[in-house]
Structure 1
Amino acid sequence: MRYEVERKFLVAHAGWRERAVSRRRLTDGLVGAFAGGKVRVRLDDERAWLTVKGARDGLARPEFEYEIPRADAEAMLRLVCETCLIEKTRHCVPHDGVEWVVDEYRGALSGMVLAEVELEHEAQVVTLPDWIGREVTADARFRQSTLLRLAREAGRPVTLTEVIAARL
């Protein structure tokens, strides 16, 4: 069984762009949520997969991924997840021996930019790039489900200022 250990941050400025080594477009759909966990379908240009994530314990959570046929993922996104879609471009940005990802959101979350780093273990020390802002790992306002809910309630993409001001 695999555990995902990650930290999430705001992005202070666009200095990451010149260091990005790759990018890919992703579409995620929430299939279901349960007791702090979720089931997600994800599609990119080359593959499709289901991910089951358990509840967090600190920075870690159990994660299971299963590749599925593209046609199945497209059908799930259309028929099961139509109001819960996340569209983003994921940029890979190496820094000091680790790979950071910067997600630029489109669609319902257009304008939001967040960075994540996946760790080997919770105690792993990472050097923060100069373009990294405030850590929001434990801030429920920056969960994708919360961001989507805020955008739906506003009837438009929400700004970073609106997310920070949100009361949950």
Structure 2
Amino acid sequence: MGQEIERKFLLQSEDWRGEIKRSQAIAQGYLNEDPARTVRARIKGDAAFITIKGKNEGITRAEFEYAIPVEDARALLKLCPNVLDKTRHEVHRDGFIWEIDEFHGDNAGLIVAEIELPAVDTSFAKPDWLGEEVSGDPRYYNSALSTLPFSRWSRS
């Protein structure tokens, strides 16, 4: 079974931009709204994927991802009520890849850094540009951002 172990952080500075190794445009949409599982279609650069993720258990969840034809992904995205638009930047540090998602559209202004870990208890150095950890906050799940975008959050 595939498994994703991921921690997610907000950013407190723009210093990470000088460390970008690669950037790619991503369009992704969710084909269901069941909290027990998500089914996502994604176009990332010139590749496409369908992904099924289980419910989060802490920072761990089941994940199954399969490559599909880009035309199939485009057709699936048309079935999604909302499609997220973001740029994913990669920053390589200390043997890890930080994926920094810079959101556009209704989620503009939100930038989140994620790190995938081989085990729940894996330690890693936190770059100075990291801010608050939001791993357990469901508002920051991409599936949640597709239904309640950052621009509609209450700022009180």
Structure 1 portions without partners, runs of 5+: 152-156
Moved more, 28-37 or 9-18: 28-37
TM-score, normalised with respect to structure 2: 0.92
Unaligned 5+ segments in structure 2 are: none
**Which aligned pairs between 1:91-106 and structure 2 lie closer than 5 A?**
91-106=89-104
- The structural deviation recorded for 1:62 is 0.7
Q: TM-score, normalised by structure 1?
A: 0.86
1:139 and 1:123 map into 2 onto residues whose CA distance is: 19
Could you say what secondary structure the match of 1:121 adopts? Answer: coil
Q: Distance in 1 between matches of 2:123 and 2:104?
A: 31
Identity of aligned residues (%): 37
**Residue 45 of structure 1: aligned partner:** 45
Indicate how the Cα distance of structure 1 residues 164 and 38 shifts in structure 2: closer, same or farther if over 3 A, else same.
farther
Residue in 2 that maps onto 1:62: 62
After superposition, the Cα gap between the structure-2 partners of 1:95 and 1:163, relative to the gap in structure 1 and judged at 3 Å, is farther
- State the AA in 2 paired with 1:85: V
Offset of residue 84 of structure 1? 1.8
| Number of aligned positions between the proteins | 156
Instruction: Give, in whole Å, the separation in 1 of the partners of 2:154 and 2:12.
Output: 16
Matched, 1:158 2:118: no
Structure 1 vs Structure 2 CA RMSD: 1.6
Distance 2:54 2:148 in 1: 23
Which residue of structure 2 lines up, in the alignment, with residue 33 of structure 1?
33
Per-residue deviation, 1:111? 1.6
Higher relative contact order (CA 8 A, sep 6+): 2
Q: Deviations over 1:84-139 (max 9, x none)?
A: 21111000001222110110001221121000000001000111100000000001
